A and B are shown apart, each in its own frame.
Chain A
Amino acid sequence: MSVTDSLTTADGLPLRRALLRADRRARWRAFALVAPLLIFVVVTFLVPIGQMLHRSVHNPAFPDNMPRLTAWFGATPTGTQPDETAFAALAADLRDAAAARTVAIVGTRVNYDLPGTRSLFTSTGRKAAGLQPPYRDSLLKADAKWGDPELWAVMRAASSAYTPGFYLAALDLTREADGSITAVPPERQVYVPLFLRTFVLSAAITGLCLILAFPIAHLLATLPLRWSNLLMILVLLPFWTSLLVRTTAWIVLLQQQGVINSTLVALGILTDDGRLTMIYNQTGTVVAMTHVLLPFMVLPLYSVMRTINPAYVRAARSLGATSWTAFRRIYLPQTLPGIGAGALLVFILAVGYYITPALVGGASGQLISNLIAFHMQDSLNWSLAAALSALLLGAVVVLYWLYDRLIGIDNMKLG
């Protein structure tokens, strides 16, 4: 029996229970304090992201609007030839869907997997009210495409609301009629090359940011406060300026008739025909994004460097180290938490960047986020956009995990 069990408080309660109660109350109070933020994060962040992720594997357009045919697919094994029952179910579903104006939704869904079929659904939908048995013959008469085995395979795949199909599409894969998974032809491969380009360019931008930010941060950290504050404003001023303004400023500077090209031509370094192409390509994306993301590297580096005691480097020098050795063995290792934080921050922001590449990237400077935006806004294929976003999120989480394993997240210092 422990001591607390035998002790009692002034009002006769066992001390152990009184302590527990006070403890619980304190915990509840703490929880009540964070509750508003927690609810805010759950409602505005976790729930929408969850919905989006759900959408990437869930598209009920076909089963919701074609219930009879979906039931037939459910009752027969894969590869079953469509019989009269199937065609009758198809005709009845088309009739109901046309009346409810949902036939185009079904057509759009099937069209994702088999291009050219949307009008098959809408045009047959318009005639569906007049279809007579035997349905197989009358549907084939309405359009011979209804007999296509590939169409039936695609409809069978679409008939289940939960599908890995959008992830396959996001990885440039496709499912053949016999169920095997193969790569799409090279001229249609777009997402995997773009993912690779996004990661390569983001790594390059992170590297450039580090090279540019390191000396700036060092200067800021070692100057007297009066001067460093002034210089800090120069770092922060662009940070406070609208992203669009900064991107447009780069267009003015870099374009063929822009400031830099015209200056070089005026100085006689370039001929008028030999103007450099520095924008609407990868160069434009890298230059503009490096500038936009630079403060995210400077600030963590600066905050770490300020805390480094200059006595260490002086001690190393006085013990005979060259300036390079003192930097490499003494100073650099102490800045690692800042480098880690800055690099991670810049890289993760760069991977999801959208507006800058859209404005200055041209064709070769597009990133995966531009295609996610395309599917959100233009093609309206939100399931595919969700699958692409989920893959991007997954890749970032893997990188974060790797970082944690290699360097350790506790070592990171954000500010």
Chain B
Amino acid sequence: MKKLLVLTTAMAGLALPGLAQEVTVMGWGGAYTASQIEAYHKPFTAKTGIKVTSVDADNPATPIKAQVEAKNVSIDVASVEIADAVRLCDEGLVEVIDAATLPPAPDGTPAVSDFIEGTLSECMIPTDVFSTVVAYDTSKFPSGGPKTIADFFDTAKFPGKRGVKKGAKVVLEMALMADGVPAAQVYDTLATPAGVDRAFAKLDTIKKDAVFWEAGSQPPQLLADGEVSMTIAWNGRIFNAAMADSKPFEIMWDGQVFEWEGWVIPKGAPNMEAALEFVKFSTSTEPLAAAANWISYGPPRKSSAPLVGTFKNEGKVPMSPHLPTSPENLTNALASSLEFWADHDTELNERFNAWLAAN
């Protein structure tokens, strides 16, 4: 049956080159996938005739490992965080993509210098810069919301439960920044046992008020239900809840921890050629800017920034102030460190799980 399918697909491909092709793209679901469908999938199909099938996972890096190890790959392109991309790349589970083959900026700047410094890596082409921030419900704080990351840990001054990501990454960095560690020294501090103890001691102060979440769709829901008054969240999810459902949610940019994510192509992807074409198209200047109109994640190409318009192209809400990459949002910000988490992921998550389990 499978052979027959392969054969017919191949024959269809011969008969109608370009038309019968398709590419399966795995995303994170929610508003994020919706933005990619609008900015990448639809224009790509319109331009090339290649059908794009969108599937979702909690974290696409997990199915990639499982599929490649089982030699049964069904995804052509997947959206993963940079840390996972580096890990998958190191373990040879995803293809190397030569950034030099990407289309240049409209003014002719080669892609390699158009992308923000440090965002390009061997196997991943970045699509957006996202940030983990603290968000709050303005109706819960009539006399003014939190101003600094330290306020998140101050339940006396700002009462209410706190939504906390269930995982060590970002949470420990925020705890240290709230404890007074400058952003530039966070990872040096966290590399020492005393620094780890310090971060967990800070977390202890809100443990009894914490509601832990796993999926990115949970924090806006927790805020909307009134279950928490303040939560750690991904900035795009909060922006969309505030816009689409007119919720009184505000983002506090102080202490934001930003990362970037992008496309990888799993080893043995069934439609390698179409996948590569999709990656090249979607990471060119205009689609990247278009995506920022649908979700508040910053475009990683410098040439995209001036093209960013208004929310859903409706002409009402300009997107630039809501992007993590905007200068006014970067006054106290931390770039997540790949090397640090590649080394300490196991150890710190183990400690985090032990901390969670202890009463």
Assembly CA distance A351 to B344 (angstroms): 31
Choose, from B47-55, B233-241, B347-355, the stretch at the interface. Answer: B347-355
Task: Give chain B nearest CB distance to A89 CB in angstroms.
Answer: 22
A379 at the B interface (CB under 8 A): yes
Once the chains are docked, how many angstroms separate the CA of A117 from the CA of B354? 21
A363/B357 in contact, CB under 8 A: yes
Q: Is B4 at the interface (CB under 8 A from chain A)?
A: no
Contact (A256, B161) CB under 8 Å given A187-B351, A380-B62: yes
- A194: CB under 8 A from chain B? yes
User: In the docked arrangement, what's the CA distance between A366 and B166, Å?
Assistant: 12
B212 touches A362 (CB 8 A): yes
A280 within 8 A of partner (CB): yes
Q: Is the CB of B354 within 8 A of A104?
A: no
User: Are the CB atoms of A364 and B359 closer together than 8 Å?
Assistant: yes
| A26-34, A214-222, A370-378 - the one binding chain B | A370-378
Q: Are A101 and B212 in contact (CB under 8 A)?
A: no
Q: Are B353 and A374 in contact (CB under 8 A)?
A: yes
Contact pattern, B 81-92, Cβ under 8 Å of A = 1, otherwise 0: 000000100111
Query: Once the chains are docked, how many angstroms separate the CA of A257 from the CA of B161?
Result: 12
State in angstroms the CA–CA spacing of A264 and B358 once bound together. Answer: 31
* Interface range on chain B (Cβ under 8 Å from partner): 35 or more
List residues of chain A with CB within 8 A of the CB of B351.
187-188
| Partner-B contacts on A (CB < 8 A) | 100-105, 107-108, 111-112, 115-119, 122, 187-190, 193-194, 197, 255-258, 280, 358, 362-364, 366, 371, 374, 377-381
Once the chains bind, are A363 and B210 in contact (CB under 8 Å)?
yes
Bound form: Cα–Cα A321–B277 in Å: 85
Distance between Cα atoms of A119 and B207 in the complex (Å): 32
Contact of B90 among A101, A187, A258, A362 (CB under 8 A): A101
| A-B residue pairs in contact (CB < 8 Å), sample of 18 | A100-B92, A104-B91, A112-B346, A115-B343, A116-B343, A122-B342, A187-B200, A187-B351, A187-B355, A187-B358, A188-B354, A190-B350, A280-B227, A363-B207, A363-B210, A378-B62, A378-B167, A378-B349
Residue B345 at the chain A interface, CB threshold 8 Å: yes
- Tell whether B211 is near chain A: CB-to-CB under 8 Å: yes
Name the contact of B357 in the complex, choosing from A103, A111, A193 (C-beta under 8 A).
A193
- The reply to whether A105 and B345 contact each other, CB–CB distance below 8 Å, is no
Q: Are B347 and A255 in contact (CB under 8 A)?
A: no
Task: Please give the distance in Å from A99's CB to the nearest CB on chain B.
Answer: 11
Determine whether the beta carbon of A189 is less than 8 Å from that of B211: no
Q: Is the CB of A378 within 8 A of B357?
A: no
Asked if B65 CB lies within 8 Å of chain A CBs, one says yes
Judge if B248 is at the interface, Cβ distance under 8 Å. no
B-side contacts of A197, CB under 8 Å: 357
Residues of B within 8 A of A255 (CB): 225, 227
Contact B227 A256 (CB under 8 A): yes
Q: Measured between alpha carbons, how far is A377 from B355 in the docked complex, in Å?
A: 20
Q: Which chain B residue has the least Cβ–Cβ distance from A273? A: B159
Q: Which residue from A117, A258, A358 sits with its C-beta under 8 Å from B214? A: A358
Check A101–B92 contact: CB distance below 8 A: yes
Q: How far is the CA of A112 from the CA of B343 in the complex (A)?
A: 10
A100 to B166, CA, bound (A): 35
- Point out residues on B near A: beta carbons under 8 Å: 58-59, 62, 65, 87, 90-92, 161, 166-167, 200, 207, 210-212, 214, 225-227, 339, 342-347, 349-351, 353-359
Contact B359 A371 (CB under 8 A): no
- Give the chain A neighbours of B345 by CB distance below 8 A: 379
Question: Within the assembled complex, what's the spacing in Å between the Cα atoms of A364 and B347?
Answer: 21
Contact B212 A280 (CB under 8 A): yes
**A331 to B160 Cα, complex, angstroms:** 52
B354 touches A256 (CB 8 A): no
Are A102 and B91 within 8 A (Cβ)? yes
Q: Is the CB of B349 within 8 A of A379?
A: yes
Enumerate chain B residues within 8 angstroms of A104, measured Cβ to Cβ.
87, 90-91
> Of B87, B92, B167, B226, which one neighbours A257 at CB under 8 angstroms?
B226
Q: Smallest CB–CB gap between A168 and chain B, Å?
A: 14
Q: Is the CB of B91 within 8 A of A105?
A: yes
- Residues from chain A with Cβ under 8 Å of B342 in the complex: 118-119, 122
CB distance from B198 to the nearest CB of A (A): 13
Q: Contacting A115 at CB < 8 Å: which of B166, B347, B356? A: B347
Contact assessment for B359 and A381 in the assembled complex, using a CB-CB cutoff below 8 Å: no
Pairs of residues from A and B, 5 with the lowest C-beta to C-beta distance, nearest first: A104-B90, A115-B347, A101-B92, A257-B226, A190-B354
State whether B343 touches A119 (Cβ < 8 A). Answer: yes
Q: Is the CB of B92 within 8 A of A187?
A: no
Query: Contacts A188-B354, A257-B227: A102 and B92 contacting too (C-beta < 8 A)?
Result: yes
**B-chain residues with CB within 8 Å of residue A108 when the two chains form the complex:** 91
Q: Which of these, A116, A258, A362, contacts B211 with CB under 8 Å? A: A362
- Residues of chain B within 8 A (CB-CB) of A116 are 343-344, 347
- Chain B residue at minimal CB-CB distance from A381: B346
Report yes or no: B214 in contact with A380, Cβ–Cβ below 8 A: no
- Chain A residues near B358: list those with CB within 8 A: 187, 193
> Are B211 and A280 in contact, with the CB atoms below 8 A?
yes
The CA of A101 and the CA of B357, in the complex, are separated in Å by 37
Q: Which residue of B lies closest to A359 (CB)?
A: B214
By the criterion CB–CB under 8 Å, are A119 and B227 in contact?
Answer: no
Complex CA distance for A370 and B353, rounded to whole angstroms? 10
Q: Which residue of chain A has its CB nearest to the CB of B210?
A: A363
A100 contacts across to B, CB distance below 8 A: 92
Known: A118-B342, A122-B342, A363-B357. 16 other contacts (CB 8 A): A104-B87, A112-B346, A115-B346, A116-B343, A119-B339, A119-B342, A119-B343, A187-B200, A187-B354, A256-B226, A257-B225, A258-B225, A280-B227, A364-B359, A379-B345, A380-B62
| Residues of chain A lying within 8 A (CB to CB) of residue B346 | 111-112, 115, 379, 381
